């Protein structure tokens, strides 16, 4: 065999091995047993909301911290909020736009920028959807008053992002995911932060984010039981909530935290840890978010940890190809949000995120909602495409189409939030 032939063979073998490892498996495993959300590790059955809160909830939260997302540091930072701009006649006079810089400490290189739109002329504090964004605040809407993020981006798709930095052309680049006018017209505000303000979404760049603020002397990266990027981004959502609580134009008791995909995983973790989030919304969060991991359908723990080693804790790597050994499954992440309303959305073309597994985590979290006398999801089978089930405190729909956050999703979130926020 000549050298070229050998080379082709080697490449072919490598491709086969990789394909085997990363095979996109679209049949669910069935021979697994889900951890019983109401059974404590010492074998006690939980039968009341009081017992759930007293023992089992804390136990599950700890299991997620220790095995999945990693621990969030308890240390309080000396936050400072500086309003950089306010425009009370934004979006053709229909809205107020505020841009607020939240400094995390006295070293002013650590900050995040909050973009906040509020519906105009309501004369009362507004309920707000809060979510991290992927493209920078300026990508959320074409509004030329939004400051362009100077941070590093995962994207390098010119002209919007050149060499991983945003240009003018990135304005409104992701406005399809953020229905700003529709949200405002429904009487809600929208608060958003670029997730890269907290930590760049790239393996090996943890020290370019806020993690070093929490290091012990001599520490150079988070320990195996400490947070990864998902934990850091979720921390940022809580700091944005700290700001919202200070803004008199916001009804901080009515903040719904929302996120798409990896930021949906993040929204769930933020909502699980921080009870100030009154509603939690997961848009196509998939593996490590709403999907039941034991199904091993679509993305798995091993695939995710290999592609994105920086998202979860070091300890989570122990469960690569060993999902049955994980002491929790992701219906228990949903259960941590109880009794607050939670909404899980899938998309029909997004099999990678396992729509049926996302539904099932809502279904198997329902017993905890029942303890509070609340309805979760009743049917073990997911509904059809574009058929939301959202009469109870757990909402679900599978939108027809791709992995994204679209108008249809927002319409369901607004309808769901209206039920709780506009009583």
Q: Point out the residues that are catalytic.
A: 261, 403
Report the alpha-carbon distance of residue 267 to residue 405 in Å, rounded: 14
Is residue 268 part of the contact set for ligand GCU (CB under 6 A)?
A: no
- The answer to whether 145 and 185 have CB atoms below 8 angstroms apart is no
- Smaller CB separation from ligand GCU, 300 or 366: 300
Query: Which 342-401 positions form the footprint of ligand GCU (CB under 6 A)?
Result: 352
- The answer to whether 399 and 366 have CB atoms below 8 angstroms apart is no
- Smaller CB separation from ligand GCU, 330 or 352: 352
Report, in Å, the least distance between residue 24 CB and ligand GCU.
10
Q: In angstroms, what CA-CA distances link 93 with 130, 186, 251?
A: 22, 16, 21
Report the alpha-carbon distance of residue 413 to residue 398 in Å, rounded: 13
Q: How many residues does the chain have?
A: 423
Is residue 261 part of the contact set for ligand GCU (CB under 6 A)?
A: yes
Report, in Å, the least distance between residue 64 CB and ligand GCU.
17
Report, in Å, the least distance between residue 381 CB and ligand GCU.
24
Rounded to 5 degrees, what are φ and ψ at 281? -125, 125
Is residue 409 part of the contact set for ligand GCU (CB under 6 A)?
A: no
- Smaller CB separation from ligand GCU, 170 or 261: 261
Query: Which 274-313 positions form the footprint of ligand GCU (CB under 6 A)?
Result: 286-287, 299, 304
- Smaller CB separation from ligand GCU, 149 or 300: 300
The residues that bridge with 397 in the sheet, in sequence order, are 345
- Smaller CB separation from ligand GCU, 99 or 300: 300
Report, in Å, the least distance between residue 66 CB and ligand GCU.
21
- Site residue total, ligand GCU (CB under 6 A): 7
Report the alpha-carbon distance of residue 319 to residue 150 in Å, rounded: 37
Report, in Å, the least distance between residue 402 CB and ligand GCU.
11
Q: Which of 262, 331, 340, 397 binds ligand GCU (CB under 6 A)?
A: 262
- Smaller CB separation from ligand GCU, 99 or 170: 170
State the sign of the Cα–Cα–Cα–Cα dihedral 62, 68, 74, 79: negative
- Smaller CB separation from ligand GCU, 67 or 261: 261
Report, in Å, the least distance between residue 345 CB and ligand GCU.
13
Report, in Å, the least distance between residue 54 CB and ligand GCU.
34
Residues near ligand GCU, by CB under 6 A: 261-262, 286-287, 299, 304, 352
């Amino acid at each position: 065999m000549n050298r070229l032939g050998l080379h082709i063979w080697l490449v072919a073998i490598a491709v086969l091995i990789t394909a085997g490892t990363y095979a996109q498996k679209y049949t669910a495993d069935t021979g697994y047993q889900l951890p019983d959300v109401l059974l404590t590790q010492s074998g006690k059955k939980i039968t009341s909301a009081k017992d759930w809160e007293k023992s089992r909830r804390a136990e599950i939260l700890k299991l997620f911290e220790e095995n999945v997302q990693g621990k969030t540091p308890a240390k309080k930072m000396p936050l400072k909020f500086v309003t950089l701009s306010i425009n009370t006649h934004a979006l053709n006079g229909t809205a107020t736009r505020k841009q607020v810089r939240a400094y995390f400490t006295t070293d002013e290189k650590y900050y995040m920028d909050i973009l906040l739109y509020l519906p105009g002329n309501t004369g009362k504090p507004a309920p707000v959807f809060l979510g991290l964004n992927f493209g920078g605040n300026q990508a959320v809407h074409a509004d030329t008053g939004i400051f362009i993020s100077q941070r590093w981006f995962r994207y390098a798709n010119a002209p919007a992002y050149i060499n991983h930095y945003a240009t003018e052309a990135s304005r409104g680049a992701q406005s399809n995911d953020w229905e700003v006018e529709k949200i405002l017209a429904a009487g809600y505000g929208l608060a958003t932060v670029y997730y890269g303000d907290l930590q760049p979404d790239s393996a090996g760049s943890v020290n370019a984010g806020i993690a070093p603020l929490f290091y012990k002397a001599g520490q150079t990266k988070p320990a195996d039981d400490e947070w990864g990027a998902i934990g850091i981004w979720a921390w940022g959502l809580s700091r944005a909530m700290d700001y919202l609580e200070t803004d008199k134009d916001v009804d901080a008791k009515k903040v719904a935290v929302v996120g798409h995909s990896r930021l949906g995983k993040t929204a769930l973790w933020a909502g699980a840890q921080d009870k100030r989030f009154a509603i939690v919304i997961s848009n196509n969060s998939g593996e490590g978010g709403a999907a039941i991991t034991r199904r091993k359908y679509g993305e798995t723990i091993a695939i995710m940890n290999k592609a994105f080693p920086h998202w979860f804790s070091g300890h989570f790597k122990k469960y690569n190809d060993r999902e049955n050994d994980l002491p929790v499954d992701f219906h228990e992440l949903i259960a941590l949000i109880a009794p607050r309303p939670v909404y899980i959305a899938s998309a029909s073309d997004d099999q990678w995120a396992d729509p049926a597994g996302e539904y099932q985590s809502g279904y198997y979290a329902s017993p905890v909602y029942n303890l509070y006398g609340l309805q979760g999801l009743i049917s073990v089978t997911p509904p059809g495409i574009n058929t939301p089930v959202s009469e109870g405190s757990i909402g679900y729909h599978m939108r027809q189409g791709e992995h994204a956050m679209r108008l249809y999703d927002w319409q369901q979130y607004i309808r769901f939030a209206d039920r709780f926020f506009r009583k």
